[in-house]
Structure 1
Amino acid sequence: MDEIVRKILEFSDPYLVLKEKVKIEGNKLTYGNFSVTFERPLLISVGKASYKMAKFFLERVKPVRSVVVTPKGSNVVLDAEVIESTHPNVSELSVRSAREIKEALAKENYDLVLFLLSGGASALMEDPIIPLEEFYELNRTLVSSGLSINEINVVRKHLSTVKGGNLALLSKAPVVTFIVSDVPGNDLSSIGSGPTAPDPSTVEDAREILSRIGLEKYSPFLKETPKNLENVRNFVILDNMQVLKRLSQILPNPFILTSEIRGEASSFGENLASIYNSSMEYSIPFSGRFSLIVGGEPEVTIRKGERVGKGGRNGEVALSFLKWVRKRGRFKLYAIATDGIDGNSEYAGCVIDEGLDLGYREINEALANHSSYELLEKYGVTVKTGLTYTNVNNVYLLIS
């Protein structure tokens, strides 16, 4: 594996971050200036990083019960009840995981809930207000609607018994939540749809979003979410910016642009090319060698009737960059999904350089068909990591 790719994954590893930041001595847990004691903790871990987060705590505490919800195919072994669930679509496994967690909160004798939350939890754990078959259809429509992830989560939270702070209401003891964020800006109410976070959105917000996509029929089922939770402490222990900062310590002449890239992936690739072109021709904004470091979650919009091949956002960033870059020097572009899966492919992303010579026509065809990896894999520039058991969005490095 490429050394820089390895470093991206190392810096994104929640187990290593927890080991660095959380101290457990006997029955006392300390995180920064916060500390709490416990005798009978209940451990709940949900999301793409659930395995590594749970592993850290299970090596150090003995919970009265442990429920760990991971993506299907994780194949992990822990001294816990492990439920493999589905993502990005909700299924009966999602409902099973939510109900197991609700049962644990209701029946177990505990004095602290250790809740470990990461990206993917919105689909992995769900117990909807509306009938399950209807919720399946609603969720599929939301995911393919072109709505932002924040807008999707607003609707989900107001049709759920576990999202939008509702899960925390079920706890009989204080809740301490450690979070690996996959949301640009780290909005606590958006990460995993905020099961232990107060929710600033309202029923009226959800009603407006449903109306916009022609699903007003679900409006009567919307339920308001809690706006204040006094028994919860939420801590983001790892996010995209932390990864970018650590990468800046090992790359030549680093410049961190942002950890909150949004918008179309192809437009982002075009913008990266414009920065490179200007730097090569005018020494603006960079002169000499540089390492441009960026993170976030650009999007790929699939329009009705479009062909969808094997592709993903990182593949489209790379192809769009190649389409617009003027090769007047050396470069290397890394486009890596920290969870190991980009789009509907088996790849985490790709690494391209000035030696990759693709025709304008084949790039345009791959972008139009959303088949970026069908093209890139022919040239051996794809990166395959498998599941990484973390998720802090995507990392983009343009190194000249």
Structure 2
Amino acid sequence: MRDLLLDVFHGALNATRADSLTAPHLPGTAPDFILSVGKAGAGMLGAALTRFPGVPALLVVPDGAAGGPWLAGVEVREAGHPAPDERSVAAARRALEVFRSLGPDARVLALLSGGGSALLCAPRGVTLAQKVDVSGELMRAGADIAALNVVRRALSDVKGGRLAAATRAQVETLILSDVVGDDPAVIASGPTVPGRTTPADALAVLDRFGVAAPEVRAALNQPVNGTPPVRPAGPVRMIGGNRDLLAAAAQQLAARGVTPVILGDTFTGEARELASFHAALCRSVMQHGLPWAAPVALVSGGEATVTVRGAGRGGRNTEFALALGLALEDGGVHALSAGSDGVDGTSGGAGALLTPHTLHRARAAGLDARAALDANDSGSLFAALGDLIPARPSGQNLNDLRIILVGGGRGMNG
């Protein structure tokens, strides 16, 4: 079962490579400049430069995520992720410089993917440290990416459409989504998508999650952080997302004789609560054959959140897997929960594997699974059991993938 789950996960990733998702949607004529930002930036740019060799390009990616024979002549900027750093600021300033230099007859192709919010960072009215601190507080308080980016946009010279507003050129944007709902204003905080939220909305987010941040609040009340100018947007197209990843996983399962059921790609909320819902479905399948008869593979996506109360190592996927195991009490399922980008929070891995014997093995090893969950230390527990999926940047970011195998059957007895 372990090998089957890992094979399906890696097969789904291979079937949804950034270059293969980008190539069919490229414009018919070469642009004058290409900007590619995000965890999938290298693959997206690779597809574009294969079609349009020699076009000047700026690539902004996390450390170690740039690669490919087409990089010759490309300006590559590696920058901080998940927290922005001074390199992120330099990359944003460089993008602004290029955009401002282009005339009205120029055409820009912007390729955006998840992770761009940190990689392209131009603090507006606050210092970089203040922006990093408020983002960290919001994440620890359980804020989802949409809420987080409301604040990020209000404190940026590039987000919320401000990058596109800095140029007279025509801008076309292709986006790979890593967020529930595929809102183009949320992915990478929408540097080429006019903002729809205001500093007042950002203040409301801080209030909702109980974040004080007095310096940030003061900045949000200043005219410098007013609503960004609304520039008529050029074409903005969503070219791939979590649904593609789930469909690829379902195809991989079916090819191995396993019946897949896609539950959906819009799951959000606390990882523990999401695990409770999935556990209830599993029990219904096992006990009553409803709403599907076993054997079956339940496939779901979306993005959970974690309210951090402990000091352990974990991520939303390892927390989901451990909470699922506890809810089922070693109830006879095998499961995988992992991030398509290959990194899951501070867990040290991409996600985790759950077996019908995880809790028993933990007890035998002297580990307290409930205490690990309470301490947000799910990553440490799965690492000790050898069930942490190794962290390996995948060059893409299509949100999370969860697969739960319920019952036996052909292909499911490994």
1:49 match: 40
Aligned match of 1:334 in 333, 336, 340?
336
Shift of 1:277: 1.4
For 1:301 and 1:18, the matched residues in 2 are separated by 34
- 2:64 aligned with 1:73, yes or no? yes
Deviations 1:214-248 (A, max 9, x none): 33322223220244x43411111110012112222
Distance of aligned partners of 1:62 and 1:203 in 2 relative to their CA distance in 1, 3 Å threshold:
same
SS at match of 1:232: coil
- 2:84 aligned with 1:90, yes or no? yes
Q: 1:46·1:68 contact (CA, 8 Å) conserved in 2? A: yes
Q: 1:168·1:232 contact (CA, 8 Å) conserved in 2? A: no
Percent of pairs with identical residues = 31
For 2:392 and 2:400, the matched residues in 1 are separated by 15
Distance of aligned partners of 1:134 and 1:265 in 2 relative to their CA distance in 1, 3 Å threshold:
closer
1:396 match: 402
2:288 match: 282
Deviations 1:80-107 (A, max 9, x none): 1111101122221111000111111122
- 2:321 aligned with 1:325, yes or no? no
For 2:252 and 2:55, the matched residues in 1 are separated by 42
2:243 match: 241
For 2:315 and 2:136, the matched residues in 1 are separated by 18
Q: 2:146·2:186 contact (CA, 8 Å) conserved in 1? A: yes
For 1:209 and 1:395, the matched residues in 2 are separated by 28
SS at match of 2:48: helix
TM-score, structure 1 normalization: 0.89
Shift of 1:188: 1.1
Deviations 1:286-334 (A, max 9, x none): 212111110011111113xx3x2221111111111111215565x3211
- The residue type equivalent to 2:368 in the other structure is E
1:193 match: 189
Deviations 1:16-63 (A, max 9, x none): 2223x236xxxxx24xxxxxx34x520101111111111111222145
Distance of aligned partners of 1:146 and 1:250 in 2 relative to their CA distance in 1, 3 Å threshold:
closer
Q: 2:142·2:305 contact (CA, 8 Å) conserved in 1? A: no
Moved more, 101-110 or 339-348: 101-110
Q: 2:330·2:357 contact (CA, 8 Å) conserved in 1? A: no
TM-score, structure 2 normalization: 0.86
1:123 match: 118
SS at match of 1:59: helix
Indicate the structure with greater helix content. Answer: 2
Q: Which structure exhibits the higher relative contact order, with contacts defined as CA atoms closer than 8 Å and separated by 6 or more residues?
A: 2
For 2:401 and 2:236, the matched residues in 1 are separated by 25
Q: 1:173·1:231 contact (CA, 8 Å) conserved in 2? A: no
Q: 1:69·1:83 contact (CA, 8 Å) conserved in 2? A: yes
SS at match of 2:376: coil
- 2:133 aligned with 1:142, yes or no? no
SS at match of 1:188: coil
For 1:68 and 1:175, the matched residues in 2 are separated by 16
RMSD of equivalent CA atoms: 2.1
- The residue type equivalent to 1:4 in the other structure is V
Matches within 5 A, 1:304-315: 306=310, 308-315=311-318
For 2:195 and 2:306, the matched residues in 1 are separated by 27
Q: 2:199·2:221 contact (CA, 8 Å) conserved in 1? A: no
Q: 1:334·1:351 contact (CA, 8 Å) conserved in 2? A: yes
2:384 match: 378
2:409 match: none
Q: 1:164·1:226 contact (CA, 8 Å) conserved in 2? A: no
Q: 1:316·1:370 contact (CA, 8 Å) conserved in 2? A: yes
How many equivalent pairs are there?
Answer: 382
Q: 2:343·2:350 contact (CA, 8 Å) conserved in 1? A: yes
Moved more, 201-210 or 276-285: 201-210
1:262 match: 268
For 1:291 and 1:84, the matched residues in 2 are separated by 38
- The residue type equivalent to 1:14 in the other structure is A
For 1:325 and 1:145, the matched residues in 2 are separated by 27
For 1:332 and 1:139, the matched residues in 2 are separated by 35
Distance of aligned partners of 1:54 and 1:195 in 2 relative to their CA distance in 1, 3 Å threshold:
same
SS at match of 2:238: strand
SS at match of 2:183: coil
- The residue type equivalent to 2:241 in the other structure is D
Shift of 1:108: 4.8
